[in-house]
Amino acid sequence: MIYLDYAATSPMTDAAVEAYSHAAKNMFGNTSSLHDAGGEAAYHLENARTIIADKLGVNRDGIVFTGSGTEGNILAILSLARAGKGKHIITSAAEHTSVHAAVNTLEREGYQITKLPFTQDGIIDLDLLEQSIREDTVLITIQHVNSEIGSIQPVEKIAQIARRHSIPYHVDCVQSFCKLPIEEFSKFVDAITISAHKVGGPKGCGAIYINPRRRITPVFPGVTHEKGVRGGTVDTPSIVAMAVAIEQFQYDVNYYWKLRLRLSKLIEDSHCTLIEAPKEDQLPSICGLCLNGLEGQFVMLKLNEESICISTGSACDINSASGTKAILAMGYSLTTARQFFRISFGPGTVEAQIEKLGEELMKISKDINM
């Protein structure tokens, strides 16, 4: 099997699996219990909190563990928005489904939502963002790296705009965490979402950072775990494994650019189009493509027959009939959006796999244009 769907999920590393197993056997106490078993679990929980805070470059008191990136986005957005006095939120039309789920929930509560389009380069227009701010704007939530095409948003500049207008800013960093230097802007934003399974950790585990100075309204008032932001006994083994994966994760940007450029070269005589941002605004390991004349799902199924795993976009949008949000936000037609498919690299990707992928894409392209 050739696995090229790392943007959807990555396999757990051996070290993370070992850490999970050890913690499950030996750190089973409830972290809120006052006996020694609880104290030991709490010690390792807080150590993991420190590791994640250091990686993000933020105050550890703002780290809250969640059950996923999806849950993290929803908790952060609802908690921040409901604590504000306004009823207007700015986001992008290409955010992860969980972000849209959160703002759509708020819309039903009377909030007004502005969903900004992307430029043709897959980037937010900063002038349009600033023009969209109103007196009652209570939150900006715009991602760091788009999960479908890999475009990198100008987060630091967005943060400057948000601070100039005294508006909280939440950033979905699920795709960029451990791959791009988040610490360059983390001190200037109010909330960050990350996930374990994108970097070799376990599924069902994530974290959010919420600036301790920011007032929030908890989604579930009265719970006691995780500073009252997220209730329930924490999953200590998963959190320990997440911290181990984070400490070990390596992202070789030059190697991934080499793979991306090789793929681009292999398909240049096909009917495939690479949907991408300018190089300085592009994460190389996420490749969004369209093959003219074929729906992305057909391409995915044909490659699956050759034991090549890709996707048609975010796994959370797999049942959507409208195609990918990112290229729709860039102004492409619905027909083109339905032709979209995504290839994403990870630590196990080697050049021979890209050669095989290119060969199979050329076969598919020739078959439909004979």
pLDDT in tens, 255-298: 999 999 999 999 988 889 999 999 999 999 999 999 988 999 99
What number of other Cβ atoms are within 10 A of residue 90's Cβ? 28
The CATH number of the domain where 340 resides is what? 3.90.1150.10
Domain span at residue 163 reads 14-248
Same domain, 238 and 290: no
Q: Distance between CA 285 and CA 259 in Å, rounded?
A: 8
Residue 225: what pLDDT? 87
Same domain, 33 and 145: yes
What number of other Cβ atoms are within 10 A of residue 79's Cβ? 25
In one-letter notation, the amino acid at residue 4 is: L
Same domain, 33 and 91: yes
Same domain, 234 and 333: no
Same domain, 99 and 240: yes
Same domain, 200 and 254: no
Q: Distance between CA 186 and CA 174 in Å, rounded?
A: 14
Rounded to the nearest angstrom, the gap between the alpha carbon of residue 151 and the centroid of all alpha carbons in its chain is 12
Residue 29: pLDDT band with limits 50, 70, 90: confident
The CATH number of the domain where 143 resides is what? 3.40.640.10
Domain boundary among 248, 272, 302: 248
Same domain, 111 and 163: yes
Same domain, 142 and 260: no
Domain boundary among 208, 223, 248: 248
Average predicted confidence (pLDDT) for the chain = 94
Residue 317: pLDDT band with limits 50, 70, 90: low
% of the chain surpassing 90 pLDDT: 86
Q: Is 290 a catalytic residue?
A: no
**What is the rounded radius of gyration, in angstroms, for the C-alpha atoms of the chain?**
21
Domain tally, the chain: 2
Beta 137-141 vs 169-172: how paired, if at all?
Answer: parallel
Same domain, 351 and 310: yes
- 58 in Cβ contact with 186 (< 8 Å): yes
Q: Distance between CA 129 and CA 78 in Å, rounded?
A: 21
Q: Which helix (H) or strand (E) holds 266?
A: helix 253-266
Domain boundary among 219, 248, 277: 248
Same domain, 209 and 236: yes
Beta 191-195 vs 169-172: how paired, if at all?
Answer: parallel
Of 173, 205, 309, 316, catalytic: 316
Same domain, 236 and 260: no
> Taking 60 as the threshold, does the pLDDT of residue 154 lie above it?
yes
- Pick from 311, 197, 207, 288: which is nearest to 245 by CA? 197
Same domain, 28 and 162: yes
Q: Distance between CA 157 and CA 148 in Å, rounded?
A: 22
